[in-house]
C-alpha cells in the first residue's frame, strides 16, 4: 500500500505519459492481460485507456485489471487509469529490502554534576 505522498509523486511522474495500453470494446481478454503484464514489467508506471462504455462496466474492468495484474491504481481520471507495479528485483542482485540499514548514532548521555 502506497502512502499519499508516494501516490502524489507517482501521479506527477505519470502526467506527461501517454496511454500505452488501450482496452477495446472487446474488453479484457487473455491477450490483453498478458500484454498488461509485459508492459508493467518493462515500464512500472503506465496509463491505460478504458473504452467508452457505461461507468459500472468500466469499474468492473478496473477491478479485474487490479486483481489480475497485482498493480495498484494511482489515479483514475475519466477513462484513463494510472497503474503502478514495482519491478521485481533482478536475479543476482540484492533486494532493496535486504540491504542493511545503517545503525543510528547514539549520542552519549551527559551527566550533570
Q: Over the stretch 55-96, which tens digit does the pLDDT of each residue have?
A: 999 999 999 999 999 999 999 999 999 999 998 877 776 655
C-alpha cell of residue 33: 492481460
Residue 83: which of 28, 34, 37, 25 has the closest Cα? 37
**pLDDT greater at residue 80 or residue 101:** 80
C-alpha cell of residue 83: 497503474
- Domain residue ranges of the chain, discontinuous segments joined by +: 4-87
pLDDT of residue 88: 81
Give, in words, the CATH class of 4-87: alpha beta
C-alpha cell of residue 3: 502512502
d(CA 58, CA 54): 6
Encode pLDDT of 11-23 as tens digits: 999 999 999 999 9
Q: Is the distance from CB of 70 to CB of 85 less than 8 angstroms?
A: yes
Amino acid at each position: 500500500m502506497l502512502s499519499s505522498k508516494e501516490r502524489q509523486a507517482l501521479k506527477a511522474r505519470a502526467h506527461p505519459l501517454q496511454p500505452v495500453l488501450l482496452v477495446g470494446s472487446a474488453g479484457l481478454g487473455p491477450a490483453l492481460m498478458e500484454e498488461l503484464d509485459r508492459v508493467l514489467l518493462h515500464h512500472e508506471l503506465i496509463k491505460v485507456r478504458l473504452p467508452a462504455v457505461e461507468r459500472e462496466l468500466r469499474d468492473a474492468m478496473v477491478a479485474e485489471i487490479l486483481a489480475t495484474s497485482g498493480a495498484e491504481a494511482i489515479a483514475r481520471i475519466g477513462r484513463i487509469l494510472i497503474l503502478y507495479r514495482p519491478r521485481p528485483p533482478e536475479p543476482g542482485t540484492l533486494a532493496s529490502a535486504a540491504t542493511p540499514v545503517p545503525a543510528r548514532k547514539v549520542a552519549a548521555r551527559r551527566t550533570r554534576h
